[in-house]
Every structure is written in C-alpha cells, then in structure tokens.
Structure 1
Amino acid sequence: MNKGKAGKSGAWRFSVAPMMDWTDRHCRFFHRLMTRHARLYTEMVTAGAVIHGDRARLIGLSRAEHPVALQLGGADPAALAEAARIGEDFGYDEINLNVGCPSDRVQGGQFGACLMATPGLVADCVAAMKAAVHVPVTVKCRIGIDDQDPEESLDALADAAVAAGVDALTVHARKAWLKGLSPRENRDIPPLDYGRVFRLKARLPGLPIAINGGIRTLAEAEALLAPRGGVRLDGVMLGRAAYQDPHLLAAVDPVLFGVPAPVASLDEVIERFVPYIEAQLAAGVRLSAMTRHILGLYQAVPGARAFRRHLSVEAVKPGADVRVVRDALALVVSARGDHALRAVA
C-alpha cells in the first residue's frame, strides 16, 4: 500500500468533491473533524456572484477547513481572475475551474461542461487566474461531452490547460450529455471510463491528475491509486459517497495517509461538532442548516434510523438548539445498549 504524500501531487491524494447545495461551510467543517488531510472543495460559485454578491455568505470559510479549495464557475477570463484574487484573499488554498457541470444554468451561461468544447477558452481562463493568484489553479472536467470522442476531447482540454500553466487536473471519468440527460442522470448514466484517465496520465506524467466518478469506498479509492501498467494516478475524489456515508472519512487518514484519524469514534465527531453548532446558532444560523449534513454519520449501525428521524423532525422546529443533537446521539447510545463510543473503524 502506498501511503502518504509525495511531492506536489500529494496535495490531491484524496479530496471530497464540490457538490451544489451540499459542500457548504458547515459541511466542510463537519468533514474536517474526521480527516486532517483530505482536500475539501466549496460548492461551485460563479465568478459574478463572488465579485458582486454577499461574499461572506457565499465563500466564507473557517481556519479549521484547510486545506480547502474554491471552485469557480464562469467563462470570462477577466472575471474569473478577479474572483480568484478574491478567493485567495479569503484564504483558499486552491482555485478550481468547473469544466464539468452539465446543468441548465451553466449551459445558459456557456460555462461548466460546455467549456469542454472550447479548450482554447479554458486555457485563457486558466492563464488569467494563474496570473492573478499565487495559490494553485486547477481544473475539474469530464472526459468529453455529447458526441465528442473522449480520446480527442480530453487530450485537447488537458493540453490547453497544461500550456496555460494549470497545476492539476481532476477528471470525472464520464462524458456529460448536455441534451437529453438531467444533471442527476449525468452522474450515473454515461458509462465510466477509468482507463481513459490512466491513458491521459501516461501521456502527461508530469501533470498531477486525480480521478472522480462512481467511487463508493476507500477500497475502491485504493485500487484506483494503485499503478496500472506502470501508470499511477495522483489522487481520487469522492462525491456522494463521502457526503451520504460520511463516516468513511474517518478512515481516510490512516488508510490513505498512514497517520492516525483525528477522532477515535463517531460519537466524538458529534461532541466536537457541538461547539461549532453552538457558535453558529449564536450567529443566527438555523440548526437544520448544520444537522442536515450529519444525517448519514451512523449509517447501518444500531440507532441510525432513530438518529436521522429525530434530527429531521426536531432540527427544523423554531427555537431548535443543540439539545436536539445531544438527544439524537443519546438515541444511538441507547440502541447500542451501552455507553461506549462508536469506534471509527
């Protein structure tokens, strides 16, 4: 097993994918409690929103979240450069350009996965952002869109990004179909082609490349990090699996980085989350805005259903406070029949 970080590329050994409506700052703080080394990503935020919107609400972060990357959406190099500067000033460790989202919103603005059709524009965007910031500038893309040949489209996109100075590439190993499939269907229906990502790495051995798409467990992540035909990828990115079954994050540090987990139990995760919840409640944040991210923590263990039900029902009530979380934890302890903490492994 090849554990630990190796040089520049090790920064992307394991990451949690940017996910709209999911990876907000509360989610990222919660995830960081379970792993010190995973790289976390924001939801995609458009460059225009960063420039003109409520920045504290849109891209605010806490010191505890590092290493954390800001994912930007857009197709205007100047606007992306300005948004990247703002993100760097906020303290982000990386600026990532979204070249993979297939939603109607991004199609209307001709960014996201649409940029797979214009590698020259991607190069312009990357170059502008690189000139504006000192932190790494990266790209997350698909292997192609619609009727593109993935062998040609991914090479063209990667070559353009490399020429512009991109620091790393994360490839969702599926095509995106801009017409005929919803964003949700685009996450499942186009077939995965992990081999295409390995072929790209073989052709560009000096470029850090991480793989994304359909990875459900750390065992699958380890398998993808193992060499194939002498080719070794630099990282894996998990999305829905990390969000819906977050306890797997507590094994990331020992399994993939060879260091102890920052917590000894899942119960300890809750206990460490409580002070954060209390501080956010005092700042006017609704309890449910935080507890929605922890519903899957006790997946498939005694008391998990009662834990989820209690949080789902009680956290949305007016005046709900941290007692709701403590009561939900007590339901898990009761279902176990003892007061021992739930171990992470």
Structure 2
Amino acid sequence: MAKQNKAYKFRLYPTDEQIKLIHQTFGCVRFVYNKMLAERKETYENLKHDKEALKKVKHPTPAKYKKEFAWLKEVDSLALANAQRNLDKAYQAFFKGHAKFPKFKCKRHKQSYTTNEVNGNIQLMDGHIKLPKLKMVKFKQHRDIPPEYKIKSCTISMTSSGKYYISILTEYEKEIKSKEIHHVIGLDFAMNGLFVESETGKKANYPRFYHQMLEKLAKEQRRLSRKKKDSSNWHKQRIQVAKIQEKVANQRKNFLHHKSKELASTFDAVVIEDLDMKGMSQALRFGKNVTDNGWGMFTSFLQYKLKEQGKQLVKIGKWFPSTKTCSSCGSVREIPLSERIYQCSCGLNLDRDYNAALNIKKEGIRLLVTA
C-alpha cells in the first residue's frame, strides 16, 4: 500500500476578528520570509566564491526574530515555520540551477499561509473547521473527505476580491494497480479549441472565457485607471476588476476539470506533445490566446486523474514532426501555418490538426510498446 496525497479546497467564512488575525498572520509570514531572505542574500554575496564555506553557514530561523519582535508570538508558529521551509525550497532550487535567486514578497503577492496538523489541532466539525489560533471557522464543505484520509496541512488564502479559501491536504493509503492499455487517444494542441482528438478529429470546443469577458473587463479597467490610486473608490473598483478575473479563472478551471475527467474515465492512456507554451507564445506572438486556453493546467489535471486510476499520460518530444508527417504513409513535408488541410501524394486529404493528432497517437503507442 502506497501513501497518496489529495487536496480539497473550500470557501471560508471567517468572522471580523478571525479576518484580523488571518491578515496579521499573512503579514508576519511575509515579514519573517523577507527577514530570512535578506540575511541569506547578504551571506550569499559575501561567500558566493567559497561554496564550501557557504554550505556550512547556519541560516536564521523564525525563533530568532521572536525575541526582537514580540508580536510574532501572536500568530500561528507553524505558519512561520512553513515560511522558512518555503524559503529553503526556493534556495535549493536556485543552487540546483532550476530557478532564479528567491525574491522578496510584497502585499501584491498571493496572500496565504500554511499550517500543519499536530495532535488534533485541525479538525472538521459540522460546517466548521478548527484551526490553530483561529479556533472554529465557518466554511462551506461541498465535498466529503473520507474518514480514513488523514489531514496533513491546511493553506488559508485570500483572493484579490477579498474571498477566503482553505486548501486541506490529506494523506491516505491506496494500492494503485497499473491498468492494461487497450484504449489510447492522441491530443493535438489547438489554439482556438484547446485540442483536437485522434478518434473523430473533433475539437474540445473551449469557450474562450477570457475573450467573452474582454470587453467588460476593459471597461472596468478603464474606470479603475481614472480613480485616484489607494482611494476608497479605487479599492471598490479594483474589487470589481478582480471579480471579473476570478470568474474567468473559475470558468476555465471548471471546464478543464470536466474535460480531463471525461478523458481519464474513457481512455487507458492519453498522448500529448511536451510543449513549451511560454516559448511558443513569444515566438508565434499568440499572447493571451495561450493563457486563455489553460493548456498547462489541463495537462496537470489530466496527469493526476489518470495516475489515480493506474492509467498513463504519455508525453512525446516537442521536436516530433506531428504536423509535417502524413498519418497514412509516413512521409514528411513542410507545411505553412496558413495551410489548414494536409494533402499528401499518397492521396490523404485531412484537416492538419486531425492529422497531427493521429501521428501523436501513433508515436505514443510506439513509446508505450518500447517501454
């Protein structure tokens, strides 16, 4: 039996007093993170040419600052400990060459903090959740968490529009058996429809929620630009803009969850191209069309939904010529972006995206067989 993790996200409805403490914790976590980062940055600048000495340096902990700043004792100590853990991860990622040097946090960053379950300090009780320091907080539990799932940690966050959420990370034991692969589907990324699938050549028909709201969003943003920054009216208008952006994000996430669940339930393996969406957006000047699709989020959802069932997400190399290859005879030819029909000397006459999806499926099956 292997240990698995699953997170559940719910809307929180804290009281005014609890909101005050939540914001105090946000501020303290940010303060401690920045303090520790400032010291690490100074140490790094002094010792960056001596890696051995740098490894031996003992980094500061939140406990160091509690003596000087007594108000840090008023908030959840586990939240401060997690700030240190997050900085450690960011620092290690930098030294491994996976990321840039950690940056300081500001109020414009995502407002959140994480606390851990220790000796029953987090419990679910009839529409309320017991949390360290906050005690009983009302929340909307629209999904049941199985009683055998153990709560590991909770992340409390606030959206730009002022809504509060809690993400509950659970741990459970489950033996996931790999399923025999009988049904495979290939997906070719499509800018205006999310993807084209290899079974029928149909598109996912992604509604492009951002473009639907673009005119309304631009109107509200113009109103915001005319307000005096940080004034009462400016904050009210900022929340109106944030609400539109949140609605688009929620619509997108809901659509991608349904599509990924549908595919994960129907097929044993899903084959996609390992695309560099950021590079693609810059090179081809697709701009916001790429982020509107949410392809990265979609593949992330698809991966964990397939994994839970013992199924596979197969990624083929981004240099594989799926668009240039004939799905019938296998010949390869250059095809301009403006040419929407793939025509081959062998007689194939097919939509270019459908042709690419068929090639992606074939390559995925080949990789599965060789594996």
Structure 1-normalised TM-score?
A: 0.25
Which has more radius of gyration? 2
Query: Which one has the bigger strand percentage?
Result: 2
Query: Which one has the bigger helix percentage?
Result: 1
